[in-house]
Structure 1
Amino acid sequence: MMNQVLVLGGRGHIGRGVVSDLITHTPAQITITGRTAQAARDLKGYPTERVQFTVLDLADQAGVERAIAASHLVIHCAGPFRYRDDFVLKTCIEQGVHYLDVSDDRNFTRTALGYQNAAQAAGVTAIVNTGVFPGISNSMARQGVEQLDVPEAIHLRYGVAGSGGAGDAVMQTTFLTIQHPFKVWLEGQWQEVKPYTGRELVEFPHPFGRVGVYWFDMPESFTLAETFPVQTVTLKFGTLPDLYNHLTWMVANSFPTAIIRQPGVIQVLSQVSRVMTRISDRFSGTGVALRVEVKGQKAGKLAHYCATFTHPDAATATGMGTGCIAQYILSGELNQPGVWTVEQAYPTSLFEQALQIRGVSIHQCWLQV
C-alpha cells in the first residue's frame, strides 16, 4: 500500500477536512504544507507520528518538485483555483505521482483534462474536482444516470448554510465565479446564462427546508454534459439565510463589472462576508445540502429519479468526498491512469461503499412523472 500523502493547502478549512478523513480512514503518512513556520501551530490535535508540517510556497517550484518526488499521492487544496496554474499536476505526471484536487473552476478543469494522454502514458491516476460539490454531487449524478435506461436531463441543486465552515479562499471563489456569464447545456445546445439569476425555490431535507437557488458556474455543469448522453444539465446554488442570496445577487447584477473584477475589491468582499457569517453561523449552522434529479426513461416509461445528501458541515463533507477517493487510490483499488473528473473515474460501487464506511448515506427516491 502507498502511504506518503502530500496535502497542499492542508492548513485551510477544506484541507483540514481532507487531512482528518485521511487520518481516520487510511494509514497514510501525511505532509501538510504552509507558507510560514508559524502555520505549524495548526497541527495541534493531529497524531504527530503520522502528520508532519513543511514550509512550502507554491511559487517555489523547485521546493514543490522535491515535495512531490517524496510522495505517492498529492492532494491539491490550495485555492482559489481561478488563480492556480497546471504546475502541480504537470509535475506529478512527470514524477509518476498520483494526484487529486478540490478544484472548482471551469478553466482550471479544462486545462487539467488536457493532460489526459500524458497521465495515461505515465501511469498516473489524476482526478480533479473531488470534494462535495463538485465531487460527491458528481457521483450522485452518476448514481442516478445508472438507474435509467435512457437518461435525458440532470438537474443539480446545492444549498449551503452560512459560511459552510469554509475559509477566505472559498469566499473569494464565490465572488470570482459571479463575474462572468457562462454556457450551460440546455436542450442539446450550449446557451449562455448570467450568474446568480434564474432564482428558484428548492426543497432540501431537514434542517434546510426551502432554499432559493440561482445559476452558478461550476465545472460539473459541463463535465456531466460531456460524460453522459443527456440533453440538459442545469446547476443552481444558494445560501441560508436568504439575505446572503439577495446580497450576492446585488453584487453580481448591480455592481459595475470593472469594480468587482478588481482583486482588492474581491478581497474586501470576502473579508466582509467572513465577518457576517461568523455571526450568522451561530444560528444557521455551516451545513451543506445536495439535491440531484435525473430524468429519462426506464423500462420504456418516463422516469424521474431524485437523490439528496446533507451534512452538518460543508468543509468536513468536502474533506470526506476527497478522502473517499484518496482511500481507494492509496489501497490500489482505484487505478485508472489519465486525468478524469469524479463521474468518469470513480465507480458507484466504491462511492457507496466509502460513504457506508463513514456512516453517511444518499437518500434515493422516484418522483411522480
Structure 2
Amino acid sequence: MTNRVLIVGGRGRIGSSVAQDLVTHTDAEITITGRDPNGSLPPELPPDRSRYLALNLADSAALQQAVSSSNLVVHCAGPFHYRDASVLKTCIEAGVNYADVSDSRSFTRRALELRETAKNAGVTAIINTGIFPGVSNSMVRRDIEKLDTAEQVHLSYVVGGSGGAGVTVMRTTFLGLQTPFEALIDGKMQQIKPYTDRETIDFPEPYGKTGVYWFDMPEAITLPETFPVKTVVTKFGTSPDLYNHLTWFVAKYWPDSWLKNPSVIEFLSYVSYGMTAVSNNFSGVGVAVRSQVTGLKNGKPTKVRSTALHPNAATATGIGTGSIAQLMLEGKLAKPGVWSVEQALSTELFERAMQSRNLNIDQVCV
C-alpha cells in the first residue's frame, strides 16, 4: 500500500521544503494543508503525487478525519510558540505516527508530557526535527560518541537574511525575546536573558567570524535529559551583523509590554522581512550550524567540533524533517513515545540520511 503523508502547514516555505524532500526520497502521496479554502499546491510539487487540503486546526473533526487518512503527520504550522499539542494528541488517538519542525521550549514541554500516552498507543512521535533544532541534535550526539566523557555542549547557529523562509521565521525570532529562560550551566539551571552575551564564532565561509547571542532553543532542555553533561549553551546570530545589533537593541531596551504585544511582534516581523528582501541579495539565505562538545578522551581534555552548512535554511529544514519522515515511513525509526531527535535517531542512520542528501558535516577533534 502507498504511504500517505499529511503535512500540516504545507503551503509555507518550510512545509513545502519538507514536501519536496519527501517527493524526492520516498514514493509517498503527499497532502499539504493550508487555511485558504481556495489554496492550491505549490508549483514545485508534482500534482500526480500531491494534493491540497483546506484545513483549519481549530476544526477538530476535520483534523481528525485528515489525520486518520494518513500514515504519518508532519506538523509545520508555526510559530510553535502559539501552538498547543492538539495535532499530536489527535495523532495519538488515531494511532498515526507524528513528526514536527517545532522550535519552541513551551511547545516541546507540552509534547514531551505526552510521551507515555504515545508509548501506550504504539505511536512514534519525533519532535524538533528541522535543521536547528533537529540536525543540530544529531551533530551533538555524534560528537559526544567520540568522547569517553562529555561535560559541555556549545551549539551556535547563523542564518543569512530570511533563510529562504517566510515571515513566520521573523515572528519566531522576536517571540524568543519575550521572556528569560533557563539553561544548564556548570550543573545548575540558571536564568538567561535572550540575546545577551555576544560571542564571536568562526563559522565556515561565507559567514566566517560572526556574532551569536544566547537564544532559547529546545536543545537546551532535551540534551541535558539525554546526556549527563554539565553545561548546554545555545546561541544564535544572523548575517549581516546589522540585524544582530538591531535585535540586541530591541531585546535590551524595549519594554516587556511592547515585546509581548502581538501587534508589535507583527510590525517587527514584517519590517524585518522587508529588509531581508534587500539584504538577501548579498548575504544569501543559507545556514551554518556548529556543535562543540568538550570532555575527556583517554583521560585527556578534548573538544569535538562539527559544522554543517547549506545555502538555503528552509531547504536544510526540509532535509532534517524529510529524512526523519522517510525513516519512519520505511520502519527504520520506530520508537513508541514522544522523543527529540537525539533521543530517537542513531548516528548510523543520521549519517546515511545526510549522505543521501549531500549535506556534508565536517568533524574534527582538537
TM-score (ref. length: structure 2): 0.99
Matched residue, 1:72: 71
Alignment of 1:1-369 (within 5 A): 3-40=3-40, 42-367=41-366
Cα distance in 1 for partners of 2:43, 2:304 equals: 44
Q: Distance in 2 between matches of 1:260 and 1:337?
A: 38
Q: Aligned-pair distance for 1:43?
A: 2.5
Three-state SS of the structure 1 residue aligned to 2:46 is coil
Q: What residue identity is the alignment partner of 2:28? A: A
State the identity as a percent.
Answer: 57
Letter in 2 for 1:76: H
User: What SS is found at the alignment partner of 2:179?
Assistant: coil
Contact 1:2/1:330, CA 8 A, preserved across alignment? no
Q: Any idea what SS the aligned residue of 1:133 has?
A: coil
Question: What SS does structure 2 have at the residue aligned with 1:57?
Answer: coil
1:149–1:297: 8 Å Cα contact kept in structure 2?
A: yes
CA contact (8 A) 2:177 2:259 kept: no
> 1:7-41: per-residue Cα shift (whole Å, max 9, x none)?
0000101101101100000111000001113320x
Q: Assess if the C-alpha contact under 8 Å between 2:127 and 2:340 holds in 1.
A: yes
The aligned amino acid for 1:24 is T
CA shift, 1:45, in A, is: 2.8
Alpha-carbon distance between aligned partners in 2 of 1:43 and 1:278, rounded to the nearest angstrom = 20
Amino acid in the other structure paired with 2:296: Q
Q: Distance in 1 between matches of 2:155 and 2:266?
A: 29
TM-score scaled by structure 1?
0.98
Deviation, structure 1 residue 2: 6.0
CA contact (8 A) 1:11 1:34 kept: yes
Per-residue CA deviation, residues 175-220 of structure 1 (Å, 9 max, x unaligned), is 0111111111000000111100000110001111111000000110
* Secondary structure of residue in 2 paired with 1:37: coil
Conserved in 2, the CA contact under 8 Å of 1:2 and 1:331?
no
RMSD over aligned Cα atoms: 0.9
Q: Report the alpha carbon displacement of residue 165 of structure 1 after superposing the two structures with TM.
A: 0.9
Once the two structures are TM-superposed, the CA of residue 260 in structure 1 deviates from its matched residue by 1.6
Partners of 2:241 and 2:359 in 1: how far apart?
A: 27
Which consecutive aligned stretches of 4+ in structure 1 deviate over 6 angstroms post-superposition?
none
The answer (yes or no) to whether the contact 1:80–1:169 under 8 Å persists in 2 is yes
